[in-house]
């Protein structure tokens, strides 16, 4: 993760989900259509026979109406916050993906596999990106085993043999030209 990034897109999404879950909980109270607007508390009616006094029933009815308006305002604000958080989380995620992809392209271009396209470099994990380069392969994780040494010595011997043959052939060609400068060179 890059220093400076302090927002967790997952936290934004969870916050938006929490607000949506609160609205879903209101739906369980039975006022599905009104829950999305934060309304329906006025439908909770308890009569004076249930509450024991007509004044208390009237006060309770007034309270549920006012409470309903308050919840309605909170739900509308919550819906707007959830919508904006959802958008922000998505935009933040997209920007983070773009930045990470650009950094992977830069690292791959500077010291990675030159045969990878930008898309291939962006699809790789950071561990793949950082492990596939000459610094990691040749310096940090060089193979110093006896088998590697034997193989290197065999490769060196083959190279010197080939160089020696090139030298002899080149010298032979030069000697032939010196001996007969007007002769046509061999195809070999």
Rounded Cα distance between 154 and 166, Å, is 18
- Per-residue pLDDT reduced to its tens digit, 90-132: 666 677 788 888 888 888 888 877 788 888 888 888 888 888 7
Q: Return the half-sphere exposure (C-beta side, CA atoms, 13 A cut-off) of residue 139.
A: 5
The 10s digit of each residue's pLDDT in 54-99 is 788 788 778 877 777 777 777 777 777 777 776 666 666 677 788 8
CB atoms within 10 A of CB 115: 7
What is the residue range of 114's domain? 9-140
Residue 173 lies in a domain: yes
User: 158 and 74 in one domain?
Assistant: no
Q: How many domains does the chain have?
A: 2
CA–CA distance, 50 with 138 (Å, rounded to integer): 84
Co-location of 121 and 45 in the same domain: yes
Residues 75 and 133 in one domain: yes
- Output the CA–CA distances (angstroms, integers) from residue 9 to 6, 15, 85, 94, in the order listed: 10, 10, 9, 10
Whether 4 maps to a domain, the answer reads no
Cα 183 from Cα 176, distance rounded (Å):
8
Residues 87 and 179 in one domain: no
Rounded alpha-carbon distances, angstroms, from residue 176 to 73, 81, 146, 162, 180: 102, 90, 45, 21, 6
Residues 163 and 110 in one domain: no
In terms of pTM, does the model score above 0.75? no
């Amino acid at each position: 993760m890059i220093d400076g990034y302090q927002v967790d897109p997952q936290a934004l999404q969870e916050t938006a989900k929490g607000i949506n879950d609160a609205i879903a909980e209101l739906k369980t109270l039975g006022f599905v259509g009104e829950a999305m607007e934060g309304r329906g508390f006025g439908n909770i009616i308890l009569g004076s026979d249930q509450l024991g006094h007509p004044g208390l029933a009237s006060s309770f009815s007034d309270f549920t109406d006012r409470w309903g308006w308050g919840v309605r305002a909170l739900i509308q604000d919550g819906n707007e916050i959830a919508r904006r958080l959802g958008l922000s989380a998505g935009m933040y995620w997209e920007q983070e993906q773009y930045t990470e992809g650009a950094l992977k392209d830069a690292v791959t271009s500077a010291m990675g596999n030159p045969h990878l396209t930008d898309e291939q470099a962006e699809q790789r994990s950071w561990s793949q990106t950082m492990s596939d380069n000459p610094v990691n392969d040749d310096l940090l994780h060089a193979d110093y085993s006896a088998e590697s040494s034997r193989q290197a010595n065999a490769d060196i011997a083959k190279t010197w043999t080939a160089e020696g043959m090139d030298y002899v052939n080149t010298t032979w060609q030069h000697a032939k030209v010196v001996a007969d400068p007007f002769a046509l060179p061999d195809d070999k």
